[in-house]
Amino acid sequence: MSYQIRVMGDPVLRQEAKSIDDIDGRIVQMVDDMVPAMYQAEGIGLAAPQVGIQKRLFVYDIGEGPQTLVNPEIIEANGEWAFEEGCLSVPGLSFEIIRPKEVHLVGRDLEGNEVSIEADELLARLFQHELDHLDGVLLLDHLEREERKVALRRWREIQSAIAGGSNTPGDLALP
């Protein structure tokens, strides 16, 4: 199966993903299908909600081959690091986002083994970004109100150009 990456406006991106109780063949197959979707989109990470699946899982590859984290959780975060961040679900836009520089993440691999990773800079940011997706949080939620208004206007322009005039409702309303 080939997955379509969902973009901002799709309600699935705003829902909290559910924990995975059993890492079975369906979960392994889902990961096997997500990895090529991530590579095709030229991303370094892809969370299950981004392909319409409400499960707490993401795949990633920062140059060491594809990895999977099931039920990931950050148990510690330190420091601060500003970095230009983009998102496969918000194509065409990127923003300087400040996040913790270092994180300690725990979860499980596809074999069900416990995983504990201390990460910094890019990998720490990737983990935080993908965990945001599992919690229904998008990149624009990290922006100040005025910056977000500008970003939403730009998003509508991009989507209008792509769709030939139609806008994507849903996420575009400001709180």
Which active-site residues does the annotation give? 130
List the alpha helices (DSSP H) in 9-144: 25-40, 121-134
> CA 48, CA 88: separation in Å to the nearest integer?
12
How many C-beta atoms lie closer than 10 Å to residue 72's C-beta?
20
Tally Cβ neighbours within 10 Å of residue 129: 23
* Cα–Cα nearest to 63, from 81, 85, 88, 45: 45
Q: Give the C-alpha separation, 9 to 89, whole Å.
A: 9
